[in-house]
Amino acid sequence: MPSGRRMLLVLFRPDCPQCESELARLERVCAEVPAEKLDCMALSLSSEEQTYAWSRTQTFRRLTIAVSVDSAFAEQHRDWLVAVPLVFLITEQGMIHDRRAGERSQEYTLARVREFVQ
């Protein structure tokens, strides 16, 4: 069910160095966009145990965006979830507006997000 709000959703794995870098960049991007214009969330595709272990690291403690885990989703869609981090911009109606795999510069992502929330 659509939330009625725009969302930036990143799918990641705790053991992925590129994901760690991208999460830090996305954190900064989300901090520059008014909270009433965009919800930001990170979804771990690893097991609950792996995600819990990661949640005790410095990387996790620095994050202020919401983080959740859904290993069942990852198992169901494993064929197209090979490339992480995977970032989605989702409209208020729950439609995917934009998606990309891999790392991008903070400037690139911020420009895309600002365009999206206009």
Residue 1 has what pLDDT?
Answer: 47
Structural domain containing residue 39? 7-117
**Contact (Cβ atoms closer than 8 angstroms) between residue 7 and residue 40:** yes
Q: pLDDT per residue over 27-70, tens digit each? A: 999 999 998 999 999 998 888 888 888 888 877 777 888 888 88
Would 66 be classed as within a structural domain? yes
Residue 79 has what pLDDT?
Answer: 65
**Contact (Cβ atoms closer than 8 angstroms) between residue 113 and residue 23:** no
Would 75 be classed as within a structural domain? yes
Would 1 be classed as within a structural domain? no
Q: How many domains does the chain have?
A: 1
Would 2 be classed as within a structural domain? no
Q: What is the pTM of this model?
A: 0.84
Please choose, from the candidates 81, 62, 76, the residue with its C-alpha nearest in 3D space to the C-alpha of residue 16: 81
Would 57 be classed as within a structural domain? yes
79 vs 104 pLDDT, higher one: 104
The Cβ of residue 74 has, within 10 Å, a number of other Cβ atoms equal to 18
Label residue 80 by pLDDT band (50, 70, 90). Answer: low
